[in-house]
Amino acid sequence: MSTPLSGMLLSHFLMTGAILFGLGLIGFVTRRNLIIMFLCTELMFQGVVISLVSLSLHHGNFEGQTFVIFVLTIAAAEAALALGLVVLLYRGRKTLDGTAWALLRG
Amino acid sequence: MDVSMVKWIPWISLLSAAICGVLCFRRAWGVWAAPVTITAIAASFVVAMLAAPSGLLRDDDGRIADALGKSPHDIGQTVKAIDWINLNERDALMDDGSPPATLEEARGLADQHQSARIIESGEAGYSVRVPGLSANFSYYIDPLTLLMLFVVCGIGSLVAIYGAGYMKGDKGYARFFAAVSIFIFAMTSMVMGDNLVLLFLGWEMVGLASYLLIGYYFKKPSAAAAARKAFIVNRIGDLGFALGIFLTYMRYDTVVISEVLAMATSPEHVADWRDYWIPFLLMLGALGKSAQIPLYVWLPDAMEGPTPVSALIHAATMVTSGVYMIARLHPLFENSPYALPTVATIGGVTAFFAATIATSQFDLKKIYAYSTVSQLGYMFLGVGMGVRYAIFGGLFHLLTHAFFKALLFLTSGNVMHGTHGQLDIRKLSGLRHLMPFTCWLMLAGCLSLAAFPLTAGFFSKDAILVGVFEQGLAETDPNRWYVVLGVLGLVTAFLTPFYAFRAWFRVFMGPEKYEMGTEAHGDEEEHAHPSGADSHLIDEDHHAHDDKPHEASWLMLAPLFVLALGALFVGIIGYKPVKELVEGSTAVISTGKESLISADLNLTLIIQIASGIIATLGILTAAYFHWLNRQAGQNLADRLAGPIRVLENKYWVDEIYDLAIVKPLRLLGWIFQLVDTLLVGGLVKLFGWLPRLLGQLARPSQSGVLHGYGLSMLAGVALLVLLILLAAR
Amino acid sequence: MDSARSRPVGVSESTLAGQQIDLWKVAKRCGHAYLLPSSGTGCWEDVFAAIITLNDPLRCDPRIMDSAVLYALYVATVVGAIALILIMPGAFSTAIRRIGGLLGAATLGGLWLWLGRFLPELGTDQAPFLYYYLFSGIAIIAAVRVISHTKPVYAALWFVMVILSSAGLLLILQAEFMAFALVIIYGGAILVTYMFVIMLAAQAGDASHAEDAPEYDRVAREPVLAVLVGFLMMALLLTAIHEPAPEVPAARGPSDMAIKVAMLTDRPEERAIQRLPPEQRELVRQTFGQRGMAEAFGPVIAQIADRELQTRELEEFQAAIGAWVEAQPWRDVKPRPSTQQLPLLVDRLLLETIDQQVSSIAGRALTEEDRRLLQQTLANQRVLGNVERVGFDLFNAHPLGLELAGVILLVALIGAVIMARQRVTAADEPEQPAIDEEVSA
Amino acid sequence: MTLMGEKLATIGPEMVLSVGALLCLFLGLARSARVRHATPLIAGVSLVLCIVGPMAWSAARPAAPGEIALVLGLAATPMAAFLKITIASIGLLLLLVSYRTPDQLPQNIEIERSGAAFDPGQTTRGEFFAFFLMSLAGAMLCAGADGLVWLFLALELTSLPTYIMLVTTRQSTLAREATVKYFFLGALAVAMFLYGFTLIYGATGVTQLYTTPVTEGLATVQSVVAEWRQEGQPLPLMLLVGMGLAILGISFKIAAVPMHLYTADVYQGATTPMTAFLAFVPKTAGFASLVLLLGTLGWPLPEPIAAMLWIMAVLTMTVGNVLGLMQTSVKRALAYSSIAHSGYMLVGLLAGSAAMEAGQPVVASGIAGILFYLVAYGVANLASFGVLGCLKRQGEEAETYQDISGLHHRHPWLAAIMLISLLSLIGLPPLVGFLGKIYLFAPAFFTGEPAMIWLVVIALINSAISAVYYLRIAAAIYFGQPSEEVERDEQTARMTGSGIAATAAVVLGLGAGALGLTDMLAKAADQPGKVLIQPADTDGDEAASEDRSNIPSATAGRN
């Protein structure tokens, strides 16, 4: 394994990662559809993945890339759970609106 | 037995409390609570009496060594049971890992560490203590501890035996003994504790046990109110005590009593403002716990508890913890010029004041309650002297008082038991034939309380008075104020036999006449009669003489004989050993003005004769007015209606408190409403409402909407990350 | 030893000027030491100074350039935030949303052009990184569409676009395995599930206004506040990552060569290569015995020796390495290495042999600089592919982690089944009061 | 003893729990009702094995220095050992408290009552206990984690099962709402700390925190940071922000401000035994992770991180307590109290091991404070929620002040347990909460820094505020009018669990020292991530491993 990523280019990739992460955050708190909300967390995970791989290249080791494998696995697990939950919720209230769940408060 | 065995003493009682707790689950198991508790307390007593003396410092001739000028590390032994709070404090070591051998080395080492201090640790040389906070369950055994253990465990086991009979058939039998066990645990922890935190813990826990037992009949509103009153009044004192401990820690960087005392008595010690205030704060705690003016109001009300409790906690042991504390920390009190005189004055005044109230009460237990307050005043008077003999007197009185006052309470419990709760001395008369044992036992107690010559109370009270006069008439440094206090003590010595025998003559002498009380069994209102042939002796007794006062069971009488023997003879037997104990304890390590070391024989003789006469006079007066010629007593009372009404109403102190604290807010409401609202109410409200206001501000964040939470979290995270960036660059 | 790690701290300001291209290499090696945003000067001054210095390449101070990039990013963030507010669904009409889209595209384009100015500094060997602008542009635009599209199905499809372009980015980063895994796992597995659930929900309800998305899809919640907070967060993250990651030499793992030697020789009982079966011995010989080592090390040795090398010398070098590998008494290596340690140990011992050989060829003792060159060469020996290397690291460093990931997947699987089978009917769910309006009011 | 056996012994507890979980999973689907009912027993047995196993192991083979106990990414630290025993013990009590939770689900009651034919699709007994054990295993793994990857996986393993348990143990719209909030915000938090981990990796180039499987050569986060700090370099922004994000993300698990908002809603929506679970397990995992993460920076913490934690601590305790004052639901009040207690523990995190000196024989570090407080809070919290779980109002869970009013007159033992736990939560001596607070605040106080002393003062004021609502609960129990509608749920196991917890609160408060807990703590808190037992195959290399800081420089020299 070879050419480490230069500081300049590294920050380019990290920048993309950060932007994806930030857009995911914004989507999470603005979109009311539960499915889209969770899609937005996946967007954040994308930001993390890109950052991890570029840092892995920069540091010349592979820990970042192996980390990505686990991130993907957990993303899949969380997605499975989230979708199961969404199905459950949808059956009861026939809506995917996240703001509809606000009985508990105060 | 090795001295380290004493570390088991509190835990035996705790174990017993746990067992009694388990026994509470089943009514049928409850009967086992009494044997468990009695065994535990008796075992504590045996362990204490066998193990503790081996830890005391002795002279060459085997006597307990005189403590004057010795280090607290020498005259007592510290026995560590378990680690509890142990923060940061440690001994600094030399570079080679050894403790410093000489003072120079220790000084050098102390310079290397911030606010380190040098401790002389007996034969081990010096150690340099780097401050922290160390408060373990470790016990300091010196003669004073031994004395207190004798009182607590000895009287405790007798009262527990009595209680086994007295509480028989009560619904909360096991609950009662669980509380008693907890009390013994707390009390022994307190008197043995080698640090102020443990002392305070025990102090609070005896309070807790006391409230539990005062409010034992929690369904009775008066009992609940009394428990609440005791709680509130004691909080005032304990706040002061806690502050005092904190200030002591600030001053000496440690809470270990022996180290504090060592530092306070060291010749290099220079008192500063903290030393002036520490004893006053500590004293506040003692005033609350030992029911002295102005915090005494809770004790008479505390008689709502079961009578054995009154005897054990509110007469013999717990209320004396204030005296114990002052004796234990005596050198701290000596460091402040006005502390001891204050203690003595409060004691003397309380003694007189409470005695006057006691002369006009009609409730047997109330009389003895005020008598307790009064006798505690004597003890304060004693330990409030800078004289050894008076301190000895105070502590000796603590011991004798424990005997005779417990005896008096328990015999009055017998009366209560036999008359279904009737305690009004106007409604009882001539019970000597119905309750012969109780009658003569109580007489023994009364004689001792009256300081009739050669009884126990006589010796201890005289010791106090001799000490007081000695201090007051001292050749080198006479202090006339103490003479006044001494005279006050003599006057009280007249009142004491009067009220004691007033009650006794009323109840047991004269024509046989009685009104039975309304309570089913003693002061137990929800007593359930066990049915069936196997029911106990008392109950058979009870059924047989349902309409007549009856003598108590042998289980209840047996411990009383022991107490009576003590009340009569402990003064003669105990005088020398107790004097030896007190003179070997930390209470007197710095108290030893040469001329005052032991009592002046002439003075002692004069005072003894005088007080003997006074006591006899008091008894005779009581006999005349309340036995031989009750009509004369009535006439006199009518003539003195005004003053007696004052006394009957206890100087209206409760009412004055009510008037001074509650009424102004109500009565002067219109006028002072504004000031009150702004100053008192405003402050209270501010502290009450500030958190609520904050809460109201924070509450909208809990809107319940998922997205709102997400956004708030995100905003919070963004702000904190911004903070990191700003702080980093 | 310490001198080896010394950084060119003493380079003064004056040496900086005029050497900007070399400086990038210096900066690269010494981490964040030079790449701090200059403090003390106002931000606009910096931006102008950067523009001025850019016009004069000889006076281009990397520090000023760096902070200029940062401020450009801030500007882009602010404009982007405005654009995104316009784009978010529900707040504005379609026309305004389009304008917002244009504004956003312009911001992105402007930022790209601005960043592109620095590309020439990087040298030709990093030319593939040009594709970065393409892929990341697509990714960002697609991500904006994910969070702004009113129809969930389209949002999910845009998300596929994000994944494909990220996979492209990973390819640029030489992470082929990750790129393909991403496409397969995300694009293939996860997104299909999403689509399935979205379609399920869309099919079951909302038949009455099928032409229009439901209200909760059409209207975003608190878009302005959310975008502002989100972009603040983004700006903070950009600031944090902008300072290049310091290089940590010790973080670099064993060289591929060492891994290969270790893998070939590591057997629990018999570690000696001599005891390997004949075909494996042959493999070792092929790996080290043929021309590979000589080709890789030739130019470096020539540089160190400062002369042309003869073929004989290279062959001797080759033979020496081969002999070393074969002769190494692996069993007796102290401390007894474990599976994980072996590559590093091999690295060290191999380097010692190479050092000896090279110094005998060069005829002088090697400097630290020479050693670093040799180590770099050894590390760069491309014997392992990306997949092999990831596989090695994965199973070497995280064998239990893989098991744990499996357990987590199992939990998720069973959990999803249990959740989905819970009996809930619409009757169980009371109608919700309209809290949202009340709160936002 | 083989090398592999040693390695597996390190994760023995987790493996036992996983096997137990799988057994529960399968047996929960058994046709025989009796077998299905045995699942909690299996869970209990595996938890007991977790406690007894390691002790037996170490008794059989006293660990000598120079032996391996390091499993790829997981380290056998004393802290991990302490936390594992704690988690297993309190887990056992939690199991008692939630022993009958699956039975109370409507569908299970229906099956029992109707004697309906067995339908594997409808029963949820086995899964509950399986997830229960899995979550505990996750928390244990957090305690022993030694890498960012491992930490991430362990945190996920802790929390994923809780989401499922939350929604399946109560058939109510409240539980579903609680789940959706918990899960979605949890996912947000995961993304956040994951990004933080990425930045930490970016700054240091490694994901291992303290030790590497490759002991020679590779750096760790700790060694890299230590080198920077030794040389007096400013820490890179990337590291600081990464740490910040990681802390904030993980603070979701411990319910600290600003990630606390879900807490009250979720605790209220969950069924009461589940609430007790949520208040302990994720919190323990979170604090273990935070200690491990911050340990890499070393105490005193770098200023920015310390400033952030300071603000978080103040806000967390204040918000928790003032909102606790406002509640009409006991369950919500206790939820806010849970937030406040996290705030107290953050004080310990800030103090860290700053007060430790070499050879110090006593417990004096904030880490020890946190570890002890986890136990203290664990038992008190469990007792109070357990008592609450024992009460029912017309078949619904009791949760308002009215529901517990006059409890003393109807169920004096439940009232006593509740009282003890409340007093312990206030921190009155001699209960364990008092000792916990001393251990937490004293190290902060002894650092002598004004900021820390102020923090302690604020914490004490907060304790006083909190006493108001705790005592209000106690007053309702003891002086309120008993409500006839409230009845005791016949749950011997649940009451036993809370009773044991309350007893533990007393016993530990008095005898933490006597039981050797303080010694264990002193050892456990010595240095996070410090592996006392070194790998066997580096014999002769112990000196190098003792001073880990010169390892990276040794290799760096060769670069």
Q: What is the pLDDT of residues A60-76, one digit of tens each?
A: 788 899 999 999 999 99
Residue D539 pLDDT exceeds 70:
no
pLDDT at D417: 92
pLDDT at B599: 54
Average pLDDT over every residue of B33-39: 91
Confidence of residue B89 (pLDDT cuts 50, 70, 90): low
Whether the CB of A70 is below 8 Å from some CB of chain C: the reply is yes
pLDDT at B406: 92
pLDDT digits (tens, 9 = 90+) for D291-325: 999 989 888 889 999 999 999 999 999 999 988 88
What are the start-end ranges of the E strands in B255-395?
A: none
Residue C173 lies in a domain: no
- Closest Cβ–Cβ partner in D164, D171, D556 for C5: D556
Q: Do A99 and C417 touch (CB under 8 A)?
A: no
Residues 6+ apart with CB under 8 A from B206: B183, B186, B187, B190, B313, B318, B321
User: Contacts of residue C225 in chain B, CB cutoff 8 Å?
Assistant: 711
Is there a single domain that holds both residue C270 and residue C332?
A: yes
Nearest CA to B198 among D558, D513, C406?
D513
pLDDT digits (tens, 9 = 90+) for D1-14: 345 555 666 778 88
D541: exposed, middle or buried (Cβ count in 10 Å: 0-12, 13-18, 19+): middle
Report the neighbours of D using a cutoff of 3 or more CB pairs below 8 angstroms: A, B, C
- Taken as a whole, chain B contains a residue count of 729
Q: What are the Cα distances from residue B554, in Å, to B434, B535, D288?
A: 15, 16, 63
**3-state DSSP assignment of residue D396:** strand
Confidence of residue D535 (pLDDT cuts 50, 70, 90): very low
Contacts of C116-122 with CB under 8 Å at 24 or more apart are C117/C54, C118/A8, C118/C65, C118/C69, C121/A8, C121/C20, C121/C21, C121/C24, C122/A6, C122/A8, C122/A9, C122/C24
pLDDT digits (tens, 9 = 90+) for A17-38: 999 999 999 999 998 889 999 9
Beta bridge partners of B92: B128
Looking up tokens 């990337």 gives D238
**Considering chain B, what percentage of its residues have pLDDT values greater than 70?**
83
Is there a single domain that holds both residue C262 and residue C140?
A: no
Residue B150 pLDDT exceeds 80:
yes
Is there a single domain that holds both residue C220 and residue C279?
A: no
User: How far apart (Å, rounded) are the C-alpha atoms in residues B185 and B17?
Assistant: 8
Q: Are D473 and D368 in contact (CB under 8 A)?
A: no
Is there a single domain that holds both residue C25 and residue C66?
A: yes
Which residue blocks in C117-222 are alpha helix, DSSP H? 131-148, 152-172, 176-181, 191-204, 215-218
Residue D141 pLDDT exceeds 80:
yes
Which residue blocks in C398-434 are alpha helix, DSSP H? 399-421
Is there a single domain that holds both residue C20 and residue C96?
A: yes
Confidence of residue D260 (pLDDT cuts 50, 70, 90): very high
What are the start-end ranges of the E strands in D197-254?
A: none
- Domain spans in chain B, listed from the N-terminal domain onward: 1-89+131-337, 339-390+414-524+567-628, 672-728
Q: Are D204 and D239 in contact (CB under 8 A)?
A: yes
Residue C340 pLDDT exceeds 80:
no
CA torsion through residues D387, D393, D398, D403, sign: negative
Number of C-beta neighbours around residue C14 at 10 A: 7
| Token output for B556 | 């209840």
* Element containing residue A59 per DSSP (H, E): helix A34-59
Is there a single domain that holds both residue C233 and residue C300?
A: no
User: How far apart (Å, rounded) are the C-alpha atoms in residues C419 and D185?
Assistant: 18
Residue D82 pLDDT exceeds 80:
yes
- Closest Cβ–Cβ partner in A25, A32, A105 for B714: A25
pLDDT digits (tens, 9 = 90+) for B188-197: 999 999 899 9
Residue C273 lies in a domain: yes
Q: Do A67 and D201 touch (CB under 8 A)?
A: yes
More confidently predicted of B578 and B86: B578
Q: Do A8 and C121 touch (CB under 8 A)?
A: yes
Residue B79 pLDDT exceeds 90:
no
Confidence of residue B657 (pLDDT cuts 50, 70, 90): low
Give me Rg for the CA atoms of chain C: 29
Average pLDDT over every residue of B705-722: 92
User: Contacts of residue A102 in chain B, CB cutoff 8 Å?
Assistant: 703-706
Average pLDDT over every residue of D196-219: 81
Average pLDDT over every residue of B135-149: 89
User: How far apart (Å, rounded) are the C-alpha atoms in residues B545 and B433?
Assistant: 14
pLDDT at B81: 81
Is there a single domain that holds both residue C336 and residue C238?
A: no
| Token output for C393 | 């690291």
| Token output for B265 | 């008595």
Residue D91 lies in a domain: no
pLDDT at D544: 37
pLDDT at D409: 78
pLDDT at D54: 72
Q: Are B314 and B299 in contact (CB under 8 A)?
A: yes
Q: Are C182 and A75 in contact (CB under 8 A)?
A: no
| 3-state SS record for B355-402 | HHHHCCCCEHHHHHHHHHHHHHHHHHHHHCCCCHHHHHHHHHHHHHHH
Which residue blocks in C176-310 are alpha helix, DSSP H? 176-181, 191-204, 215-218, 223-242, 256-265, 278-289, 292-305
pLDDT at C16: 37
Give the HSE-up count for residue B427: Cα atoms under 13 Å, Cβ half-sphere. Answer: 16
Nearest CA to B199 among B191, B209, B207?
B191
Residue C108 lies in a domain: yes
pLDDT at B682: 57
What are the start-end ranges of the E strands in D36-93?
A: 70-71, 74-75
Nearest CA in chain D to C336: D537
Is there a single domain that holds both residue C219 and residue C145?
A: yes
Cα B174 → chain centroid: 24
User: How far apart (Å, rounded) are the C-alpha atoms in residues B297 and B291?
Assistant: 7
pLDDT at C287: 63
Q: Which of residues 48-77 of A touch B (CB under 8 A)?
A: none
Is there a single domain that holds both residue C217 and residue C352?
A: no
More confidently predicted of C428 and D498: D498
User: Contacts of residue C159 in chain A, CB cutoff 8 Å?
Assistant: 39, 42-43
Residue C312 lies in a domain: yes
Q: What is the tally of structural domains in chain C? A: 2
| Token output for B219 | 């369904």
- Closest Cβ–Cβ partner in D160, D171, D535 for C408: D160
Residue D49 pLDDT exceeds 70:
yes
User: How far apart (Å, rounded) are the C-alpha atoms in residues B299 and B319?
Assistant: 9
Average pLDDT over every residue of C405-430: 83
Task: Decide if domain A7-94 falls under CATH 1.10.287.3510.
Answer: yes
Residue C9 lies in a domain: no
D513: exposed, middle or buried (Cβ count in 10 Å: 0-12, 13-18, 19+): buried
Confidence of residue C329 (pLDDT cuts 50, 70, 90): low
Quote helix, strand, coil % in chain C, to nearest 5. Answer: 75, 0, 25
Nearest CA to A102 among B248, D413, C436?
C436
B676: exposed, middle or buried (Cβ count in 10 Å: 0-12, 13-18, 19+): middle
pLDDT at C28: 38
pLDDT digits (tens, 9 = 90+) for C77-136: 999 999 998 888 877 888 888 899 999 999 998 888 877 766 655 555 556 677 888 899
- Taken as a whole, chain A contains a residue count of 106
What are the start-end ranges of the E strands in D162-271?
A: none
Is there a single domain that holds both residue C103 and residue C230?
A: yes
Residue A43 pLDDT exceeds 80:
yes
More confidently predicted of C114 and B202: B202
User: How far apart (Å, rounded) are the C-alpha atoms in residues B139 and D487?
Assistant: 46
Confidence of residue C423 (pLDDT cuts 50, 70, 90): confident
Residue B667 pLDDT exceeds 80:
no
Q: What backbone torsions phi and psi does residue B125 show, to the nearest 5 degrees?
A: 95, -135
**Considering chain D, what percentage of its residues have pLDDT values greater than 70?**
84
Q: For the CA atoms of D460, D461, D463, D464, what is the dihedral angle to 10 degrees?
A: 130
Beta bridge partners of B140: B78
* Nearest CA distance, A48 vs chain D (angstrom): 6
pLDDT at B244: 92
User: How far apart (Å, rounded) are the C-alpha atoms in residues B536 and B528?
Assistant: 13
Residue B713 pLDDT exceeds 70:
yes
Residue D408 lies in a domain: yes
**3-state DSSP assignment of residue B140:** strand
Nearest CA to D74 among D155, D11, D14?
D11
CA torsion through residues D77, D2, A70, D183, sign: negative
User: Contacts of residue A30 in chain B, CB cutoff 8 Å?
Assistant: 707
**3-state DSSP assignment of residue D547:** coil
Q: Which domain, by its residues, includes D317?
A: 300-528
ipTM of the assembly? 0.86
**Where does residue B510 fall: left (phi above 0), alpha (psi -120 to 50 degrees), or beta otherwise?**
left
Residue B129 pLDDT exceeds 90:
no
**3-state DSSP assignment of residue B91:** strand
pLDDT digits (tens, 9 = 90+) for B498-539: 888 888 888 888 788 777 776 544 444 344 333 333 333 344
Q: Are D181 and A105 in contact (CB under 8 A)?
A: no
**3-state DSSP assignment of residue B521:** strand
Confidence of residue C165 (pLDDT cuts 50, 70, 90): very high
User: How far apart (Å, rounded) are the C-alpha atoms in residues D405 and C72?
Assistant: 63
Residue C222 pLDDT exceeds 90:
no
Q: Do D304 and B204 touch (CB under 8 A)?
A: no
Q: What is the mean pLDDT of chain B?
A: 80
Residue D413 pLDDT exceeds 90:
no
Residue D112 lies in a domain: no
pLDDT digits (tens, 9 = 90+) for B323-364: 999 999 988 888 888 888 899 999 999 999 888 888 888 888
Q: Which of residues 131-150 of C touch A (CB under 8 A)?
A: 132, 136, 139-140, 143-144, 146-147
Nearest CA to D492 among D500, D483, D484?
D500
**3-state DSSP assignment of residue C167:** helix
Q: Which domain, by its residues, includes C362?
A: 253-384
Q: Do A75 and C190 touch (CB under 8 A)?
A: yes
User: How far apart (Å, rounded) are the C-alpha atoms in residues B195 and B245?
Assistant: 10
| Token output for D246 | 């990681």
Q: What is the tally of structural domains in chain D? A: 1
Q: What are the Cα distances from residue C293, in Å, to B666, C283, C296, C343, C349?
A: 102, 14, 5, 17, 16
pLDDT digits (tens, 9 = 90+) for B247-287: 998 888 888 898 888 888 877 777 788 888 899 999 999 99
- Taken as a whole, chain D contains a residue count of 559
| Token output for B567 | 């009340």
CA torsion through residues A54, A55, A56, A61, sign: positive
More confidently predicted of B542 and C181: C181
pLDDT digits (tens, 9 = 90+) for C54-74: 333 333 344 445 677 778 888
Residue D183 pLDDT exceeds 90:
yes
| 3-state SS record for D330-386 | HHHHHHHHHHHHHHHHHHHHHHCCCCCCCCCCCCCCHHHHHHHHHHHHHHHHHHHHH
* Nearest CA distance, A66 vs chain D (angstrom): 9
Residue C188 lies in a domain: no
Is there a single domain that holds both residue C226 and residue C273?
A: no
pLDDT at D6: 59
